[in-house]
A = this chain, B = another copy of it.
Amino acid sequence: MIRVGIIGATGYAGGELVRLLLGHKEAEIKWYGSRSYVDRKYAEVYQNMFQMVDDRCLDDNMEEMAEQVDVIFTATPQGLCASLVNENILNKVKLIDLSADFRIKSVDVYEKWYNIRHKAPQYIEEAVYGLCEVNRDEIKKARLIANPGCYPTCSFLSVYPLVKEGLIDPNTIIIDAKSGTSGAGRGAKVDNLFCEVNENIKAYGVAGHRHTPEIEEQLSYAAGKPVVISFTPHLVPMQRGILVTAYASLEKEATYEEVKAVYDKYYDKEHFIRVLDKDTCPQTKWVEGSNFVDVNFKLDPRTGRIIMMGAMDNLVKGAAGQAVQNMNLMFGLDEAEGLQIAPMFP
């Protein structure tokens, strides 16, 4: 039984880790870390866990936690994981960081976009970007995983095969993304009140959202050259779900079958990536609660562009689900253990 510690267990991503790990046959949560709710019963904070979780919340002492568990998830704001990690900890436990601290290889880029000084740059190189379908082998050997951001996961997976195979010009990529509100976290902010979010849609972080360099870095590896893109996130009146609509110019004419074959080449054997049937558009509702990413595309001969789409649950494949998938890989378990959840509809 893998012993698990969670720092940030009372945020939305932390709560989702708890939900998923309760259904995991080989893991057991030993430490519910929550600075804001220390000593409160976890099931008082998340009443859905009443009679399922009896533990109380503990603080976020990573040193002590490392003595008691085999793997630590940090589901916390940027900067916290980097401020706590050290060699002693990494020698004792696996560390899966759901924040952005170790996702970007360039300290300068990180510090510029996040406007924060990196406290542990010495671990950036070692950290493995935990996009399971792309970096599976490195993940298996890693001590420290940078769990990908929600937008980057859905954005990258929607366009990756075509970038990798050179079918599209990567510098023409425009990603228009739409997210449910749980992505904004459980903090008490006027902007996230029901009355402000409901019956509303807006763009935010236009031309400056922090997930942009993360997406660009991964696309650059795929393309084998620097890639600069446009990325615009939007807030949608729903709880869960990210939809990505991505546009790019084709390098040359291509048929549906040719493009489909490229997607299949990369995703056909991937359990959690579903390339939908022709002309079926991904919808967030069809993946809700699951670890699936649904992708598809449409050629537009009129403009010479291709429209690529992806849908995903931001709290599962975009956060806690992918983190568990990484844990499974790191501990040599079945990659899908604890994640064999059918999407819930409606």
Contact = CB atoms under 8 A, between A and B. Distances in A.
Interface string A212-229: 000000000000000011
A182 to B, nearest CB: 5
A137 interface: no
Given A48-B343, A346-B198, A281 B206 contact: yes
Contacts of A1: none
Interface string A294-331: 10001110110101010100000000000000000000
A234 B283 CA distance: 10
Contacts of A187: 190
Interface in A214-254: 228-230, 232, 234, 236-241, 243, 245, 247
Contacts of A276: 47, 50
Interface residues of A, number: 85
Contacts of A311: 202
A112 interface: no
Given A19-B345, A198-B198, A243 B234 contact: yes
Contacts of A282: 202-203
A190 B344 CA distance: 18
A239 B199 contact: yes
Interface of A: 12, 15, 18-19, 22-23, 44, 46-52, 174, 176, 178, 180-182, 186-190, 192-204, 206-207, 228-230, 232, 234, 236-241, 243, 245, 247, 274, 276-277, 280-290, 294, 298-300, 302-303, 305, 307, 309, 311, 340-346
Given A342-B23, A342-B52, A345-B19, A241 B201 contact: yes
Given A195-B186, A245-B176, A202 B283 contact: yes
B202 A243 contact: yes
